Structure formats: C-alpha cells, structure tokens
Structure 1
Amino acid sequence: MHDVVIVGAGPVGLFLAGELALANCSVLVLEKNPQAASPFWALPLGMRGLNAGSVEAFYRRGMLTALLDASRADAQQVGAHPDAHEAPAPRDVSHFAGLRLDAADIDTGALPPRLPGPAMEGIMTSLEAVTGVLEERAVALGARIVRDAPLEAVDQDGDGVLARAGGREYRARWLVGCDGGRSTVRRLAGFDFVGTEPLFTGYVARVVFEDPAELHLGFNSTSTGMYLRTPFEGHLGMMDFDGGAFDRSQPLTRDHVQTVLRRISGTDVTINEVHLASSFTDRAMQTSTYRNGRVLLAGDAAHIHSPLGGQGLNLGIGDAMNLGWKLAATLHGTAPANLLDTYTAERHPVGAAILDWSRAQVATMNPGPNTPALRQLVHDLLRTIDGTTHVFRTTSGLAHHYDLGDAQPTVGFTAPDFRFGDGTRLGDLLREGRGVALDLTAAQTLRETATHWQDRIRYAPGPVANDLGLGALLIRPDGVVAWADGPDPDPEAFRRTATRWFGAPTA
C-alpha cells in the first residue's frame, strides 16, 4: 500500500509528489497520457507566468535555479531573447483585462513586509520547463510515476482508497486528484462543482500568417471581443464572446480560426496554416470542499476559471505547497487534530477570490454598449497608485493571507527572507520541508523550548541583517508565519503555537 496516490502528472501533481516524498512518504502518481511531453506545454503555447508567490515556493525548495535555466533554454529554442525568463520588464508587471500596470505606480509600503532575496518578482516560463524540473525532483526523492493509466474507479473506506487505473488496482491511505478541470477524481469521488457558466470561447494557437502586420502586438480589445498577438512568431490568442458555444464542440480548422480572428480583429488577415490550436472558456467553478473522506483535490480539479491574468497555475502551486506538509504530518501521526481540515479552510477562500477576479476581468472585456465606459473607468483607476497597488498585490500572490487568529502584522503572510550573518537565508532553511523557529534575540530565548519539536521544527538563532523589529518567528513548512513576537518573545506563546501546528512535543 502506498501512502498517497496522486492522479495527474501536471505541475500541481508533481509539486505535491515532491513535497510528500521530501517528507518520506511513499507516493505513486498516475497519469492518463502515455507521454510526459505535450506540444501544448512548450513555448509559445505553453508560456506561463509564475507570480512572486510561486517563484518563492520554487526557491524555498531549492528549485529556482533549475527552473530559470530550463526557462532560458526553452526561450532560446524558439528564438526569444535569452533573458525572456527573467522578471517582467520594470514597466510591465501585470495586467487586468488586458490593461497593463505601470510598476512606477506600485506603493511598496502597502505590501506585506518583505526583504530582498533571490525570489522577489514573477518570471515568465513554460509548462514544459516547470513540469520538467518538478518531475526530476519528485523522482529523485522517490516518487513513482505510472503513465498510460487513465483512472477508472475510486472506492474508499475508513482505512484507505482503492484506485483502478489502466486495468490495474492501486491501494493507498490517501488519494489526491490533481487531474485538471475535467477531473475524473472529482466526478468519481462525488464532489459537487458549482459556479457560473461561460460568456466566451477562448483560443490559443500557433499559426502562419500571410500578413502579420495586419494585427497589432499585445492585447487588443475590439467591439466583438479581444485578440492577443505576442512577439513569438505566429502566437495568437482570441476571446470570442459566443457564450462558450464552440469550446471543444467542433474541430479547430484553419477556416474556423481565421473566421473568428477576422470578426474579432476587424481585418482581412489571412492564416495560411494552423500548427497547433486549443480552445477554452471562462467557466468559473469550484468544489464546496477540497476533501471528501480520504480523497482530496488540488489545482484545477478543485477550481476552474478563465486563464486571464495567469492565476490558474499559481493557484494550484499554492494548493500543493499548503497541502503537502499537512498530509505528510497526518500520515506520520504527528499532526494535531483537524490539521488537514485547515487545507480547505485556508485554500478555498483564496480560490473563490481568484474566480471572482476572473469574472471581473471578463465583465470588463465583454463587448456591449457599456463596455467602453467601464474599460475607461478601470483604465483610470489603474493609473492611480492605489489601483495599481491593489491589482499588483492580488496578481503577485503577495497578498494571500490566512486568518490564523493573530493580529500580528506578519502572521498569516509569507515570511520575509531573513539573511543570517553567514549568508544563509530563511529560504535555505526551508528546503528540507520542516518548520523553522527563528530566534533573533541574542539571548536565544526559544532554544530549549524548540528542542521539543526538533524532529519537525528547525531551530535557527540570529542575528539577521534586518529583523524588522521582531524577536522571534515560527514559520510553517509552507513558508507562512504561524507566530511572531517582539524583542522579548514569550516561550509559552511559542509552545502553544507549535503544538497547534506541529502536534504534541516529543520530549
């Protein structure tokens, strides 16, 4: 019997597999596709933006350098600028409904406390680069991947889950569905899935234009929809407000793609060839819970929405980072009561907010007589410091906050990347997937107390280059601040918080 069976070998499933294997859990990943690669994962159609929160997750698990190298190699293969994987250009940090933000209008003082470090901003990468790095890590840590194994049945009891896939049966103590927006796990395990129906059919394609100069670069809003043309040769995106009627209902022929593009762009542009094409909608749906007995969901299996703003991949990585250590602690018997319940409690509101964020963008783009006035209003708001800062906080992943019952300003947010005198950073200390007790006082007040959780919490005494006026912090394995105190930290408060998140002390 495995500890965990994960269904889906995409970025979320592979990230979670690595987290569980890092914690010495036996992990099996079942993937329906026979091959690891997909042409839709390579640039340009596989282009994705990782926000600052996701980049921080890769950094804290020691994968950021490998990801940057893989992203650079991908960009060079398709002829992009060799630095295309780096942080977004200073004056192009994000967008809302195709309306760009100006980095000069961001009020950094209104963001949660941060310190300079290797993971400060988002990067552009590809699904191919992301999955390659994540699979290499998961396999190196001991996770096993079985391909060409479509899921056929899921049955659970009080002791575990039986999954039948590819004609074989697999038994595990837990099963996690990371199998995308059309999740088989979600359906077979009986999760409800509710939300709003689509307003548009979206398209991404790699084509050969006869006359590319007919189309402007960037996002282009028109009276009938929106199209996007990027610097990648032949890379095209479109949103056709047809109520989602076309999505996957018919073949994506050259004639159809050209007809839609001409209608949306208002030009006579000609497409000579369509190499690759796919469609999607802005359907926004979410399960009411991310857990049903011993079956859990993460990523698009738990929530779907339009790709506007590139939040889907980032949301899924956040799910995996949050769930991994909690499920591992549950498996090892060290988790406090109801720890696994905090997965839904913390991640469901984040997902719901992203769905609303997507809906708001669609409403701002939906063609109609009132749309130009609405877009002008949004444009004007984005030219203000408060408006730009609000959008950046949301899209960067820096504003995600879990209500942990403590009003201290850093609690519930991602931890600042403190730097110690020897050059070590907090990100380095989190690589092994344990919690970290930062004791920044010269008195090392928490040393004795922290030793009672030394199998689950790493003790790290200061000083640090900038302590932000803090004396001590307890950081969860996912990098979230669970507790923080001033220059004279209270060991008893530390003990209570450690017990809440890491279970009873061992000594």
Structure 2
Amino acid sequence: MFVITDVNQDMDVTVAGAGPVGLLLAAELALAGVSVQVLERRTEPDDAMKAQGINIPTAEALDRRGLLPAAAQMQRETLARTGAPGGWVGDRAPGAVSRFTGHFAGMSLDPELVDWSDPDFTAHAAASGVRLVPQPRLEALLAEHVARLGVPVHRGVEVVAVEDTGDGVLVGTAAGPVRTGWLVGCDGGHSAVRRLAGIEFPGAAPELTGYQAVADIAEPSGLADGWVWSAAGVYRCGPQPGRIAVMEFGAVADRTAPVTLAELQASLRRVSGTDVTLTALRAPASRWSDNTRQAATYRSGRILLAGDAAHVHPPFGGQGLNLGAGDAMNLGWKLAAVIAGRSPENLLDSYDAERRPLGTWVMSWTRAQIAVLRGDAKSAALREVVADLLNTRDGTTHAVKKIAGVTQRIDLPGNHELIGRYAPDLWLRDGSRLADHGHDGKFLLLDRSPDGKFARLATAWPERVRSLTECDPPHAHPSDMPHGHPSDTTDSHPSGMSDGLPVGMLVRPDGVVAWACTSVDDQAIADLSTALHRWAGARPV
C-alpha cells in the first residue's frame, strides 16, 4: 500500500484505473502537456483472460502515436505462443496474418465471403494487419508508453470518496486525501468514481454468466469442437488447445471473486451435459455477464467517466475494450484543451454527445447476440435465419465491417463524406504516411491546394496544428509496418477522392476528420476557419 507521500497532491487530472483505457487517457493528457497521475486499487496488473484483440480504430490510435510496430511484435509473439485462431487468414507470405473476421453470436464469419476490396477496408490498410493484441499485452504496451511520458501510476490506492468543489475535486483514497483539477473514472463496470459521484447507471440486470479460460482437460475428445448450443447455454473449445468459453443462462455468479477451477468445471459440465474434468488453469480465468448499462451522463462537473465505468455490455468481439479506447482518445485532447484555456469548458459537452451514440450501438449489437445465443426454440429459429444472412457476401462483409469498426462515424457539421469518420490511411507524395505525423498529438491539416491557402490559415495555431503540404520534406515511416508500400493503400479508396486524398483535410488528435474539401474556394476557406476555431480553440494571443 502506498503512503500519502507517494501520491501527488496537486495534479491537473487524476485518472482512477490503470487498465488500457485509463493508461491511454493518461498518455493523451501527458502528450498535451497536462500533469496527470493514475491511481489503481490493484497492486499488480490484471492478467485475467479478457479481450483477445483490438479493432481498427484502436490499432490506428496506436499507429498515430508510433506504437503500431510494438503492437505488431506483440501479435507475432501471441501467434507464436498460441497459433493462429479461427477468423485469421494469411496472405501470400507464408505465416503472415492480414485479415480478421471474428464471429457473431458464435457463428464464425468466413473470411472468404468478405469483400476485402470494400473502400471501408482499403481506406484503413496499415492497421488492419495488427489486430491480435490481447488485452493484458495491450495494457503492458500502454504502461511502457505512459512511463516514457513520465506519468506516475500509483498501485494499491483505492478511491473511497469524491467531492467536486467547483474548482477541483477532492479525492479520498486509502493513501489519504488528494486534490486534483479533474477526476476521470476509468475504473471498470463497478466504478467507485461513478458510484461516489452519484451518477445513475440504468440498464438491464444480468441473466447469464460467461467464462473465458485456458485449461488442461483430462479427456478433451469428450467435448465437441467449435460452438455448441444446449438448453443450458453455449460452450466452445478451441481454436487453441485448452481454450474454453462457456455461457450459462440463468446463472448469475459473484463477479468479484476469482474464478476457481471447480466453478469453471461445474459450469462447463452443466452446459455441455458431459462429465468433463479440468485438471488445471494455465492462467487466471475471467468471468463476465450480460449486464448491460450506460451511465446517465459521462460528465458531472469536474468528474468524467470513460470505458466500462461509462458503459457495460456482453464482451463479444472485444467491443468493450475498443469502445473504451475510443473514449480515451476522444476525451484526452478535449480535456487538455480546456485545462490549458485554449477552449471553453463546453467543449467537454461534445465528449458525451459523440461517444454516447457509439456506446448505445455497441450495447444493442451485443444484446442482439445474446438473443440469438439462447437455447430456446425461438432463438434457435432466429439463429438459423441470421446464419443464412451471414452466409452471404453482403451479410458477412457488413458484419465484419461493424466488428472492425471501419464504419464508425460521429455527427459533425459538413457535407464531405469523410467528415466525422476516422481519417483514412494515406501515403503522401514525400513517401510518409499521414499517421507518421501524429506522434505528438497535434491536429493535422493536409493541404494540397496549389498555393497553400489552407496551411496559411492554420499558421494562427502554430502550437496546435501541423500543416502537411506536398512540398514538405519527407518524414520517415516505420520500416516494419505490416503494409510497406504506398501501392498497398492507394489503389482503392473512398469515393470522391480521385487519388485517395482530398484537396484539404483537418484531422483531430483522436483521428476524426473535422473538415475536408474537394475544391479550393471561399466556402472551403470559411468552413476550415470555422472548424479550426471550434476544435483547435481560440487563436493564441
């Protein structure tokens, strides 16, 4: 347990929770020059089996901060340790991994049915090959990232009280009181910050208990391969040896206690109808439920919520991890801008407005899978209908795009099709990639106008906006990117961009396109000025 002198008493932001969401948020704040610390009630990182991969927006967030090569190395290590799981297919290079599909309600999505030439995929080529990064490995990567940025992470410090004083937050902890400018709860579905702040958490109570584990099985041949349904629930063995997933309907277990071998074995026996014997757990198992809730607000004064503290749902497809990562990227630069006085406090209203609809969608997407997974006759009939739809090129492509996150869009003003979407993976004429220029978390302004009109306008924000013109000197890009040549990404592109690039594009620090145009005229200049004032804040004096 840390004593009071270990915890900083005067920080701009205190983040509760040192999981991937809390660490990513802390890194974004530190990158923007904000003083930030992380408090974590656990004394050691959580190595329980959870999300096994990341979606494309999360991979691209790592890419923009220069972390994708490290993530790619973690993927290689994971594949070497476990072997390629179902849903991954290799490209022409032996052993290479390029595509991930996943499943919908236990129905595997066939990679051969996916239209990989769809512009929503080809616009995000570089990150698409780095998806198999398990949650504990991602957490380790981000822990190294915040350490390099000088962010202190205090373990064994539990938040026990909060008080918003109007000009800051008093945080009661097991190590003593802490005063901070802002408090962000990234402390999970049972968030102490949310509870202590009095933020309601409406939704649906759990009706099932699920488990993920890797175990030694005495006679694995007694269990069927793949997903198997029964009246009691659903289970799957594989694709890696010893990998077990169990969902038992009507059972609501205590999620605060560690999963024991006996508990997992009993649930698997009830669902499978066998007398299977598990002899050992190879790593800590995880337990989850279909508890589905969303915070009434993501912000109450100087207290904010992100990740599972703001929304919980069944974990299909690792959607919770990726949704939380998006929260952190969206909130980080906005909170930093408010703290620095560059933007008014109402900028934080856009955090809830932009992230809530995505959280609502994920809740619906995962709840629909629960309905399809149930063991009753009606759900079985529905499962057949859904399986038929997923066994088509259009159906599989649609589902994989949703899982991958490439269709995500937030509602922003403007008519260009890119506005509100994550910026495409673009190669510039100097041989660099757009993501290569985002390592320091600034806004990126792509200017392809003949006379640099867009870049000249942005000179009023020199510390916040980096302008990229075709005459800029080359910037090196990582040599070990999964896609190593511009031809990998420019042959196909979203419609309206003749060579894959708009004439002008403003990208926020979270990767979202705030403005884009296809021609240079007075309206384009006016729209860019509006976007810069709205998102980059007031011009420096």
The CA distance in 1 between the partners of 2:325 and 2:268, in whole Å, is 33
TM-score norm. by structure 1 comes to: 0.92
> Any idea what the Cα deviations from partners look like across 1:400-433, whole Å, max 9, x if unmatched?
1110022311100001122112221110111110
Identical amino acids, percent of aligned pairs: 41
* Cα pair 2:234 2:246 within 8 Å, conserved: yes
* Aligned mates of 2:330, 2:149 — CA distance in 1: 19
Partner of 1:158: 166
Q: How does 1:36-435 map to 2 (within 5 A)?
A: 37-40=45-48, 45-46=49-50, 48-76=52-80, 79-81=81-83, 93-107=101-115, 111-112=119-120, 114-115=122-123, 117-121=125-129, 123-242=131-250, 244-248=251-255, 252-274=259-281, 276-336=284-344, 338-435=346-443
The answer for unaligned runs of 5 or more in structure 2 is: 1-9, 91-97, 472-485, 491-497
Deviation of the 1:312 alpha carbon: 0.8
Q: Secondary structure at the match of 2:346?
A: coil
* Matches of 2:255 and 2:346, distance apart in 1: 41
Which residues of 2 match residues 452-463 of structure 1 at below 5 A? Answer: 452-462=460-470
Paired letter, 2:68: L
What is the alpha-carbon distance in structure 2 between the residues aligned to residue 26 and residue 433 of structure 1? 16
Question: Could you tell me how far apart the structure 2 residues matched to 1:375 and 1:136 are?
Answer: 43
* CA displacement at 1:361 relative to structure 2: 0.2
Shift of 1:225: 1.2
Letter of the structure 2 residue corresponding to residue 483 of structure 1: W
Aligned to 1:492: 526
SS of the equivalent of 2:377 reads coil
Distance 1:355 1:200 in 2: 16
Query: What is the CA distance between 1:212 and its match in structure 2?
Result: 0.7
CA distance in 2, matches of 1:87, 1:315: 22
Q: Hey, what's the Cα distance between the residues in 2 that align with 1:274 and 1:436? A: 47
Instruction: Find the residue that maps to 1:232 and give its secondary structure.
Output: coil
Q: Distance in 1 between matches of 2:222 and 2:432?
A: 53
Deviation, structure 1 residue 171:
1.2
Query: How far off is 1:104 after superposition?
Result: 3.4
Contact 1:92 1:100 in 2 (8 A): no
Could you say which residue in structure 1 is the equivalent of 2:494?
A: none
Match in the other structure for 1:472 = 504
2:33 maps to what in 1?
Answer: 24
CA contact (8 A) 1:87 1:121 kept: no
How far off its partner does 1:367 sit?
A: 1.1
How big is the shift at 1:121?
4.3
Alignment length, in residue pairs?
Answer: 498
Please, which moves more after superposition, 105-114 or 282-291? 105-114
**What amino acid is the match of 1:424?**
S
Distance 1:407 1:401 in 2: 13
Moved more, 359-368 or 467-476: 467-476
RMSD: 2.4
Distance 1:421 1:87, change over 3 A: farther
- Give the AA of the match of 1:273: A
Cα deviation digits, residues 290-338 of structure 1 (max 9, x gap): 0000000000000011112221111110000111110111111111462
Q: 1:5 aligns with which of 1, 14, 26?
A: 14
Distance 1:114 1:341, change over 3 A: farther
**CA distance change for structure 1 residues 85 and 431 in 2, over 3 Å: closer, same or farther?**
farther
Given residue 175 of structure 1, which amino acid in structure 2 is its aligned partner?
L
Q: List per-residue Cα deviations over 1:47-93 (Å, max 9, x = no partner).
A: 511011111111111111112223433554xx323x77996657851
1 CA distance for matches of 2:99 and 2:337?
43
Change (3 A) 1:278 1:116: closer
Task: Indicate conservation of the 8 Å contact 2:53/2:135, yes or no.
Answer: no
Q: 2-side partners of 1:249 and 1:13: how far apart?
A: 20
Q: Against the structure 1 CA distance between its residues 462 and 153, is the aligned structure 2 distance closer, same or farther, given a 3 Å change threshold?
A: same
Structure-2 residue corresponding to 1:505: 539
Give the residue type in structure 2 aligned to 1:69. Q
CA distance in 2, matches of 1:125, 1:200: 27
Distance 1:122 1:21 in 2: 25
CA spacing shift, 1:110–1:278, aligned 2, 3 Å: closer
Distance 1:95 1:290 in 2: 30
Q: Distance in 1 between matches of 2:139 and 2:464?
A: 28
Instruction: Confirm or deny: 8 A CA contact 2:209 2:253 kept in the other structure.
Output: yes
Q: 2 CA distance for matches of 1:405 and 1:478? A: 17
Residue 29 of structure 1 aligns with an amino acid whose one-letter code is: V
- In structure 2, C-alpha distance between the alignment counterparts of 1:334 and 1:324, rounded to whole Å: 14
Kindly provide the amino acid, as one letter, of the partner of residue 66 in structure 1.
A
Q: TM-score, normalised by structure 2?
A: 0.87
Change (3 A) 1:352 1:111: farther
Q: 1:269 to 1:340 in 2, by over 3 A?
A: same
Deviation readout 1:149-180 (Å, 9 max, x if unpaired): 01111111111011121231211110100001
- C-alpha distance in 2 between matches for 1:250 and 1:6: 25
Instruction: Choose which of 433, 439, 446 in structure 1 pairs with 2:447.
Output: 439
SS in 2 for 1:48: coil
Deviation at 1:105, TM superposition (A): 3.0
Taking the aligned partners of 1:249 and 1:134, their CA distance within structure 2 comes to 25
**Aligned partner of 2:23 among 6, 9, 14:** 14
Asked if 1 retains the 8 angstrom alpha-carbon contact of 2:50 and 2:286, the reply is: no
Q: Deviations over 1:84-143 (max 9, x none)?
A: 799665785121101111233334566548536421245112222111110111121121
Runs of 5+ unmatched residues, structure 1 = none
